[in-house]
Chain A
Amino acid sequence: MVNLFEEIFTYEFMIRALIVGSLVALCAALLGVSLVLKKYSMIGDGLSHVAFGALSIALALNVAPLYIAIPVVIIAAFILLHISQNSKIKSDAAIGLISTVSIAIGVITISLSKGINTDINSYMFGNILAMNQSDIILSVILSLFVLVIFILFYNKMFAITFDEDFAKATGIKANRFKIVLSILTAITIVIGMRMMGTMLISSLIIFPSLTAMRVCKTFKSVVITSGIISVICLFFGVILSYVYSVPTGACIVVTNAIMLVLFSITKKTIKI
């Protein structure tokens, strides 16, 4: 075990994966609490599919994925948010449409561009080697940005998630907050998509908060616990992925799922 850790920390790619991974896991878990409670987690799922389309186009054009994916996914976030607020359109159906169109575009782009490495598995289910030197700095800066904004918006996040009507009635700009939430979600999904895989990144948003809510009864404790759970699950997931050479995203989903089961079992005995 000790040898394994020593070995892991001699590889630069592992250190990169752990640094960026933990930051993304933390961001996703914190945002996830509000997204899950507000029933917006489908938006996260839709955005991750848009990210897949954007990623494949970026790789076909041979551009750094973050530069294309960030604006595209943020625009998609605005569209999805608008749809979900407009009760006349069925929002889950609309998210389904946008998701499938994005996947279709992505798959077509990948099949057409034979010149590049077409390892579709790693786009979809994650790859530990995904973060290169140039990605890491931008990813760290962006995730720190998400964390700072989250902290600044924390109290609003609680108030609006708990009772949007009261917040609106007492002069809090709830719509502005939703825009911020969707931009932060879009950024988090894009940073995490290479490592987690575009099909699995949304699990990072949903799992930790659900797990924390098994046991915790206050908003603050749910937020803190889900952040911690998420980072722990990421750590073990990355190590599993390294040891067995399987897609990183899939491993992290599995560790999260195990954690959810463990917490569900303890639910009856502990309450924080």
Chain B
Amino acid sequence: MKILECENVCINYDDVRAVDNVSFTVEDGDFVCILGENGSGKSTLVKGILGLEKIQKGTIKYLNGIKPNELGYLPQTTIVQKNFPASIYEVVLSGCLNSKKIIPFYSKKDKQKALEMMKKFEIDNIKNKSYQELSGGQQQRVLLARALCASRKLLILDEPISGLDPVITKKMYQKIKDINKQGMTIIMVSHDINYAIKNASKIIHIKNKLLFEGTPKEYEKSEIGKLFLGGCHHG
């Protein structure tokens, strides 16, 4: 069952075409990894899917009843202004907001979910600390927990493990696999090609244009895959 369909998507920044004529589909339950070198338009494509960047040409469609308020998102960079007053708990809990319908307050269940996610990423013991006072890796964990609170059908992660230490990276990867097994569709931008090949159900490789769409096995055999994998092993 298709849940997302991108057709000939083009996205520009002024005159620069960051995403050029990209088409692909995502099935329910998929684990899609988007690969590509720096500046190849991965983050831009993801923002286009989320409606944060204007699509110049082409269409992006959610199918089979997926709504924007059922997805979670981890941005590659989040610029929060200096001295913004916000505790870790407040930030994580705000991920639950998109599931609220008429009653605009958090229920006990929401609070439990937020707490559970904070435990997962080992930030529950500092939950009243100010977000601004955390290290980069700790902030990343907070935003991951928020993304997981927000997602019910689709989780979009833009380089989720950047800045995480090895222990948390492992847990993060385990967590992503677990929730994918439980039925969550995942789209992940990553530079960890080995992880992608081992775990993804579909690989998309872009360099502004779409270079590859297919299974990890096919990717390993393809020209572009060999090139990229080779670069990885030796570099």
Which parts of B81-110 form the interface with A (CB within 8 Å)?
Answer: 81, 83-87, 90-91, 94-95, 97-98, 100, 104-106
| B75 located at the interface, meaning its Cβ lies under 8 Å from any Cβ of chain A in the complex | yes
| B178 located at the interface, meaning its Cβ lies under 8 Å from any Cβ of chain A in the complex | no
A172, B97: Cβ atoms closer than 8 Å: yes
B87, A155: Cβ atoms closer than 8 Å: no
**Contact pick for B146, options A154, A166, A171, CB 8 Å:** A166
A162–B75 CA distance with the chains assembled, in angstroms: 14
Q: How many residues of A contact B (CB 8 A)?
A: 26
Q: Which residues of A contact B71 (CB under 8 A)?
A: 169-171
Shortest C-beta distance, B13 to chain A (Å), equals 14
Shortest C-beta distance, A269 to chain B (Å), equals 17
| B128 located at the interface, meaning its Cβ lies under 8 Å from any Cβ of chain A in the complex | yes
| A85 located at the interface, meaning its Cβ lies under 8 Å from any Cβ of chain B in the complex | no
Shortest C-beta distance, A171 to chain B (Å), equals 3
For A165, give the chain B residue with the smallest CB separation: B52
Q: Mark each residue of chain B from 189 to 233: 1 if its CB lies under 8 Å from any CB of chain A, else 0.
A: 000000000000000000000000000000000000000000000
A152–B133 CA distance with the chains assembled, in angstroms: 29
Q: Which residues of A contact B78 (CB under 8 A)?
A: 163, 165-166
Q: Which residues of A contact B80 (CB under 8 A)?
A: 162-163
Q: Mark each residue of chain B from 24 to 40: 1 if its CB lies under 8 Å from any CB of chain A, else 0.
A: 00000000000000000
Q: Which residues of A contact B87 (CB under 8 A)?
A: 217-220
Band of interface residues on B: 35 or more
A225–B148 CA distance with the chains assembled, in angstroms: 31
Q: Which residues of B contact A (CB under 8 A)?
A: 47, 50-52, 67-73, 75, 78, 80-81, 83-87, 90-91, 94-95, 97-98, 100, 104-106, 128, 130, 133, 146, 150, 156
Which parts of A159-194 form the interface with B (CB within 8 Å)?
Answer: 159, 162-163, 165-172
A221, B98: Cβ atoms closer than 8 Å: no
A166, B130: Cβ atoms closer than 8 Å: no
**Contact pick for A155, options B50, B69, B83, B105, CB 8 Å:** B105
Task: Supply 25 A–B pairs (Cβ within 8 Å), ascending by A.
Answer: A37-B84, A153-B104, A155-B97, A155-B100, A155-B104, A156-B97, A156-B104, A158-B86, A158-B94, A165-B75, A166-B75, A166-B78, A169-B71, A169-B73, A171-B98, A172-B69, A172-B97, A213-B83, A216-B85, A217-B85, A217-B133, A218-B87, A218-B128, A219-B86, A219-B87
For A209, give the chain B residue with the smallest CB separation: B85
Q: Which residues of B contact A103 (CB under 8 A)?
A: none
A170, B104: Cβ atoms closer than 8 Å: no
B97, A159: Cβ atoms closer than 8 Å: yes
Q: Which residues of A contact B47 (CB under 8 A)?
A: 169
Q: Which residues of A contact B150 (CB under 8 A)?
A: 166, 170
Which of the listed residues B51, B71, B83, B91 has the most CB atoms from chain A within 10 Å of its own CB? B91
Q: Which residues of B contact A169 (CB under 8 A)?
A: 47, 50-52, 68, 71, 73, 75, 156
| A222 located at the interface, meaning its Cβ lies under 8 Å from any Cβ of chain B in the complex | yes
